[in-house]
Structures are given as C-alpha cells and as structure tokens.
Structure 1
Amino acid sequence: MHGTRGNDPGGTTDPTDHHRLVREAAMLAGSRGSHRALERLVDDMSARLVGAERAPMLDAIVTVSTEGLRSCWTHGWQPEELTRHVERTTGADVAALLADLMVDELTGYPPASVHPDFFDQLTAVRATRWWPVEQHWLAARADAAGSWSVTVEQMVILVAVLHLAPRLTVLLPVPGSALPARAADHPHHVDAKTLRTVRQLLAKAESTTFPAEAETFTAAAQKLMARHSIDQAMLAAAAAAEHPGGGALGGADGPLSRRLWIDTPYVREKVALVAQVADANHARTVWQKELDVVTVMGHEADLDAVELLFTSLLVQATRAMQQEGKRVTAWGDSRTRSFRKSFLAAYAMRIGERLQEASRAETEQASDELARQGRGALVPVLAARDAAVQAYAEQEFPRVRTVSMGSTHDAEGWHRGRQAADRAALGAPPRRPVARR
C-alpha cells in the first residue's frame, strides 16, 4: 500500500524508488541543501527517463507534482496567483512547466466540476495544450529544452515550491468538487459591457498626458461603477424584503473576497493606496505581508470598483512619481527611495480623502433621488451592507492585527505626493438618477 505523510516533499512512506527520488530531490531543492547531492539525484532521474525505466519515472514526476498542485488548490491558490508565485520565486522557465501541469490536471476533470474562473485564468496566463496529442507534455518540454536534465531539475524545483506554498483563504471551489449554483451558472453582477467600457475609459485616462482629459475619462468610469453599486444595493434590499430570511454572509448577494497582488518596490505604500480606495468603496482589506498580497472583501460591484480604480490610480501615481526624477542630498547622496516612499504615502492618504468626499456627495445625491421617488432610504441599506462586509471579514480573518503604515521621512516627497493626488483623474461624483427596478 502506498501513501504519503502530509505535504512534506521528503516525508514519504511510498517504497517506490522513483517516487522516493522525486521527493528526496524536491526536499533538497526546497531546503536549499547540498547542490552536489541534488545534481546526483537529477542525473539519476534523467538517466532513467532515457532508459528502460522511462514510464515509471515519468509517472512518478507527474504524480508527485500533481499532488503538490492539488494541495495548492485545496489551500486556496488559483492559476493566476500560482503562476505569479512560481515565476517570482523561480523564474519563467519553471512557470512554463507549471502552465503545462495545470492544463493537464484541470482538463482531466469533468468541466462541470471546475469553476469557470480556473479556465479563464488559464487563458489569462496563456496556458494551453500546445504539445502533440501523441506525446506527453513533459517529454515535449524536454525535447524543446534539448535535455532531460534541465527539465527534470526545473520540475524538482516546481515540486518543492508547490509543496511549500503557504495557505491562502479559499475563494473558489476546489477543482473536482461540487459547484454551488452561483458558480456553475457563472453570472457576473457587473455585466461585461460595463466592465469593458470602464476599462477603456481608464486606459485612456492613464495614457493621456493632458490632466483635463484624464479627469473626464476617469470621471465617466467612476460614474458607471458608482451608479452600478447603488443600483445593486437597492435591488438586493428589495429582493431581501420580498424573500426575508434568505440572505447569508456568503450568499448570492453576500460579500465576497478578491486578492490583489502587489508588485515591488514600495509595497507598503501601495497597500496603503488599496486600503484607502477600499475604505471609500464599502470594502475591507487584509494584507498578508509575506506574500505581498491584499485580500479585499466587499460586494462584487464594489470589488470591481476597488480593483479598477486602484490599478488606474497606481499607474497615474507611478507616472507622476517618476516625472519628479531623482533626489540627492547636499553631499551628493541619493534620497530618491525615501522621497518616493513619502510621495506614494501622501498620495494614498490624499486620494482617500478625495474618495471619501466623493462618496459622501454621491450618497446624499442618491438618497435625495430615492426619497423623491418614494423608493425608500439609501443610508440604512448601505449601513446594512457595510455591517455584512465587516462580519464577513471577521469570519474570514478572525485573527488580524492593525499595522501602522509608517511615517514619512521626506517632507518634499510628502508635499509632492499630495499635489499629485490633487491632480489625479478621480472625477466628480455622479449626478445621474438612480435606476429604477
């Protein structure tokens, strides 16, 4: 009887020699053990792959790597996130092997048992079945590399990374499990046309060098997202009134989670910008510092607004920061890093102030319109949704602590950052009537 112990690449009770080789090599790679010992194991595995033991050796590599991949699914990882993690920690070549492994593994399930987002993400990372139907994907990679030893070493590294990947919050059903009705139907609260229009507007705002044009484009995008968020809130409240007792924290219109992966440098300051944007859009954030990832929790329309607005504002902030150039002290030493950290920190704080002002103005305007239409009060509806998001955040992350985002060390950077935030293409709050049901 064969079995494994936990997720430790080296903790195995499997007597099969081929599996032992893969696990032992992965353990060495993951622990950064003896490079010479790892080379010997890789050479041994490569020799078997060109000899009579090719089939069992190939099967062992795929079996152990698939175990690691399935462990990642169980621990909350999704294809785009895992690709990013592997690429950042090992490089593009190992990430290419991960792409093949994910395609081979996910296409082995009945399509109805895999959340559609998994396949959408495969497309996003350009993971496709490129190898000939009569050839194994790993053999095709070895042929492309011109050497089994190169491919085997990369696969060993991949196995180590998969087995050592930390746990994340599970946001989607694990592949192969039963899907809830909402996931199976794959509806989106924000229709594709709206999102496409918003992205086009923000792309224009980011590309133009004229502040007035950027203001116009971003204002139009902001109006679309804000309008949709309020519409969704009122529709959900009306549905809840018609069917009392049917809601739940994670129900069809309940709060959801989304992860935003933050690129270096200046991660802390970019996290502050996410938090400010989220706070103004009825969402909550949790930062997992060791992975440079922020989990944003809120209702779907608000999550879309946070993601799109943060992405656009970060592009604008980065461009403005780089235009400021480098900074040096009177002694000729560089103070560029401290200047830019302070610039982004001030930018985030000022953007938060502007977003809060816009949110209050929009709420007042929409509340007046709803009162005139006799459709009920908006403020209690938004308060109830905020309370639901807070409860959901506490449920998903019961043990969190508030962290200080640090203080500024560069007065000029702080001043310039606030100025850039005042120039950012945020736009005035929407003034269109609230849509009727």
Structure 2
Amino acid sequence: MTTIQDVLRGSLSYEDGLDALTVAPAGEADAAMRGAVAEGVDRLVRGGWQPAELHRVVARLGNPVQAHLIAEATRAYISKFPDIDPRWRAQADDLPGGNNNRDRIKTLDAGLGLLIELRKLPTIDKLIPAPGDKPEKRLRGADNRVLERVRALLAKAESTDFPAEAEAFSAKAQELIARHSIEEVLAATPDETPLARRLGVDHPYESEKASLLDAVARANHCHTVWSPELAFSTVFGFDADIDAVELLYTSLLVQANRAMARDEPAKGKARIKAFRRSFLVAYAVRIGERFERATRHEIEQHSDLLPVLRSRDLQVQEAVTRAFPRTVKARGSRVDSLEGWESGRAAADEAKLA
C-alpha cells in the first residue's frame, strides 16, 4: 500500500494518510502496516540495534501501543531464523507480551507514528551478531557461581529497610566482584579482547544515572560512553567485568531510589527535584569512592599483576577510541540542594566496609 510510503516521504500529510488507512479494506491496510513495521525492524537490526534497545527507545515515546507493536514485530522477526545468538534470543524473549484486543484505529495511528520514529533512529555499532549472522561463541563471562553469590547479596541489600545494612551488602558484593576480577585476569587467555555492551539509562535524571553507571564501571576496569539522545551508555571492558557492572548498577539504582524516596522533602516540587538530582550526584560520587577502594585493596594483594592490568586498561581505552573517535566530556550536574547532597552521601556511606 503506497499510502504509508507517501506519509513517510512527506508527500501525504499524516492526517490524510491515517484517514486513507482507516477507510481502506481492513485486511489490506493491517497487512501493509505490519509489513512496514517489519521492514523498519529489519533495517534497524541490520543497523546494530538489539531487541531490548529498540523496545526501550520506543517505550520512551510514551505510547504503550507502539511498545507492543515493536515487541510483536521483533518476535516475529526472529521466528524466521533457526540459529541466532543466544543473547539476542534472550532479549527478545524478555520483551513484554502484546494486547491482541486493541482498537484497530488506535493501532493504525500508533503504527504510523511508530514508523516515523523508527526512520529517525541512526545506525549504531553491531555489538552482537544479529539474526542471519553467524552466532559467535560467548566469550568467558563471570563465573555463574560468583554472580549468584553477588545477586544474593544485592537482593538482601534491596530488601532491607536499613541503609547501613544495604550498604554493607553492596560493599561485600563489590569486594567479591573485585576478587573475582583478579582471578579472571590470572586465568585470562592471550586471545581475549575487550567487548562493549549497551545499558539503558532512562529518565528522569539521566545524567545523574549515567554518572552512577560510570562510577561503577571505573571501579571495575571498564569505561563508559553516554549517548543521551538514544537512552543508553555503552560500557567497554572485558566480559566478566561488564557482567559485574550491569549487575551492580541495576541493584544500586533500586537502592538509591528507595533511600531517596525515604529522605526527600515532604513538599515543594522545585525543592524535591533539586534534592533528587543532588542526592544522585552525591550517591554516585561516594559509591565510586567506596568501590574504587575495595577494588584497590584486592589489587594491592596482587601487585605483580599491575603491568597486566595496565595493559588491559589500555586495550579497553583503545576499544573506546575506535568506536567513538570523537567524544565530549559531559558537564557535571549542578548540586543545588545541600540537603540532597548530604543525604546522598549518607545513603552510600552509612556502613563501614565489611
């Protein structure tokens, strides 16, 4: 159906195109919309986008029907390929289910709007093989037994109502990860190379959340590049280290949000906003300091590894430069609330390291 292409090319207005779709035979119009969305998904997948990233950037638009449409299209897309990378399949399997009882006119409206948004998305680096590419064997990530122990500690940190106890569990998790990272270096093979993984950084307070992710990454031998317009940061490092960063960052966000809600002022929209932003800045700074200290303690037990660690860090930095030859250092967020700053540091600093 040429109506959809005419709208996308700009030769037909959005309103006129939607009117034409709604009066066209339902089977023909619905099939054309599904086909157009499928083509958009195919272009973006070949352009480096992964299922979770594609769903996140669409969900941020605020229309749940569009989020359902992109999830459905992605699942339908992978059904054409018998052999795909397990990381790609895992992301697709985790996408939320759709609602098959949607209003048809609203679905056409959402679909047409979705196609316009998909055309705006750029090509990005392909970090894992897409369907149709040869799946690659996953490089050695963190030991599952270690990750399970870390998850158990972080689950306790997320469930407790006592900030000091939560910080103690998180600190212990970082100690365990730092120790395991050294073991990974000792067991590394010469052919291991740095990888990259994109992690979502969602609103509100994206800049402050990106700073927290960067603090966790730096404490775990990784580097980050934040792409605010695309709602993610790219984390560069060795596989096991990136696993640890993702796990810690996800948990720390949960803990920070709970502590922030507990301590924030009772009223005043501007005051609450300044408090939250200052809280997250302070929280990221202090978490980074404490995690860096835990990592440094483990490294000091293996001073003979310093040349190897420096070499690996250079490899990671080179990977960042290849992928992002032109980066700009982001300005730090303003701290407008002393109350929020002090509360954020306290939330990250109430317990001594285990």
Deviation at 1:364, TM superposition (A): 0.6
> 2:25 maps to what in 1?
48
What's 1:228 paired with?
Answer: 180
1:284·1:298 contact (CA, 8 Å) conserved in 2?
yes
- What does residue 21 of structure 1 align with? 3
Which deviates more from structure 2 when the two are superposed, residues 219-228 or residues 267-276? 219-228
Cα distance, 1:422 vs structure 2: 0.9
One-letter amino acid matched to 1:350: R
With 405-414 and 290-299 compared, the bigger mean Cα shift is at 405-414
Q: 1:278–1:285: 8 Å Cα contact kept in structure 2?
A: yes
Q: Which amino acid aligns with 2:4?
A: V
- The amino acid that maps onto 2:349 is D
C-alpha separation between the residues in 2 aligned to 1:300 and 1:127? 30
List aligned pairs for 1:75-154, cutoff 5 A: 75-109=47-81, 111-112=82-83, 114-126=84-96, 141=100, 144-145=101-102, 147-154=103-110
From the superposition, tell whether residues 227 and 286 of structure 1 become closer, same or farther in structure 2 (CA, over 3 Å).
same
| 2:243 maps to 1:304 | yes
The Cα of 1:407 is off from its aligned counterpart by: 3.0
- Aligned-residue identity in percent: 40
Residues 219 and 427 in structure 1, CA contact (< 8 A), matched pair in contact too: yes
Comparing 295-304 with 222-231, which one deviates more in the overlay?
A: 222-231
- Matching of residue 413 in structure 1 with residue 340 in structure 2: yes
- Alpha-carbon deviation of 1:411? 2.3
Counterpart secondary structure, 1:37:
helix
CA RMSD between the two structures? 2.6
- Cα deviation, 1:29-55, whole Å, max 9, x if unaligned, reads xx9x855323322224xx2235xxx3x
Partner of 2:234: helix, strand, or coil? strand
Contact 2:212 2:249 in 1 (8 A): yes
Check conservation: 2:150, 2:176, Cα contact below 8 A. yes
In structure 2, what is the equivalent of residue 244 of structure 1?
A: none
Q: Tell me, yes or no, if structure 1 residue 275 matches structure 2 residue 214.
A: yes
Query: Which moved further from structure 2: 339-348 or 152-161?
Result: 152-161
Superposition deviation, residue 204 in structure 1: 1.2
The letter of the residue matching 1:223 is E
Q: Post-superposition shift, 1:148?
A: 3.7
Q: Alpha carbons of 1:123 and 1:196: their partners in 2 closer, same or farther (altered >3 Å)? A: farther
- Of the three residues 197, 219, 229, the one matched with 1:290 is 229
Question: What are the Cα deviations for residues 204-233 of structure 1, in whole angstroms up to 9, with x where unaligned?
Answer: 111112345434533442233222211111
Query: Which consecutive unaligned segments of at least 5 residues does structure 1 have?
Result: 1-17, 129-139, 241-246, 248-252, 368-376, 429-437
Per the TM alignment, residue 298 of structure 1 is displaced from its structure 2 partner at its CA by 0.6
CA deviations over 1:326-351 (Å, ceiling 9, x no partner) = 266xxx78422112211211221122
Contact 2:167 2:349 in 1 (8 A): no
Per-residue CA shift, 1:59-78, capped at 9, x if unaligned? 53333222211111122211
- When normalised by structure 1's length, the TM-score is 0.74
What are the Cα deviations for residues 211-267 of structure 1, in whole angstroms up to 9, with x where unaligned? Answer: 45434533442233222211111111xx33xxxxxx4xxxxx211111121222211
Q: Following the alignment from structure 1 to structure 2, what is the Cα–Cα distance between the partners of residues 151 and 276?
A: 42
Residue matched to 2:119: 163
Deviations 1:2-41 (A, max 9, x none): xxxxxxxxxxxxxxxx1x112224456xx9x855323322
What secondary structure does 2:130 align onto?
A: coil
Give SS of 2:233's match: strand
- Contact 1:27–1:160 (CA under 8 A) maintained in structure 2: no
How far residue 389 of structure 1 moved from its aligned partner, in angstroms, is 0.3
Does structure 1 retain, via aligned residues, the 8 Å contact 2:142–2:241?
no
Q: Using the alignment, how far apart are the partners of 2:144 and 2:224 within structure 1? A: 25
Cα distance between partner residues in 1 of 2:269 and 2:32 = 55
Identify the match of residue 189 of structure 1 among 131, 141, 146.
141
Candidates 342, 349, 354, aligned match of 1:422: 349
Which fold has the larger relative contact order, with Cα–Cα distance below 8 Å and residues 6 or more apart in sequence? 2
Work out whether 1:202 is the aligned partner of 2:202: no
Q: 1:41 to 1:194 in 2, by over 3 A?
A: farther
**Deviation at residue 286 of structure 1 after TM alignment:** 0.6
Map of 1:385 onto structure 2: 312
Distance 1:199 1:303 in 2: 15
Q: Give the 3 Å change call, closer, same or farther, for CA 300–186 of structure 1 in structure 2.
A: closer
Structure-1 separation of matches of 2:167 and 2:326: 40
Q: For 1:89, what is the secondary structure of its paired residue?
A: coil
Unaligned segments of structure 2, at least 5 residues: none
Contact 1:327/1:334 (8 A) holds in 2: no
Q: Does 1:265 align with 2:217?
A: no
1:58: how far off? 5.0
- Secondary structure at the aligned position of 2:199 is classed as strand
Distance 1:333 1:222, change over 3 A: closer
Cα distance change, pair 315–408 in 1 and its aligned pair in 2 (3 A): same
What per-residue deviation string (whole Å, max 9, x for no partner) do you get for residues 155-182 of structure 1?
A: 2223222222233222112321223xxx
Q: 1:58 to 1:407 in 2, by over 3 A?
A: closer
Q: 1:79, 1:118 within 8 Å by CA — same for their partners in 2?
A: yes
Q: Residues 71 and 163 of structure 1 are in contact (CA less than 8 Å); yes or no, is this contact kept in structure 2?
A: no
2:60 is paired with a residue of what secondary structure? Answer: helix
Structure 2 partner of 1:314: 253
TM-score by length of 2: 0.90
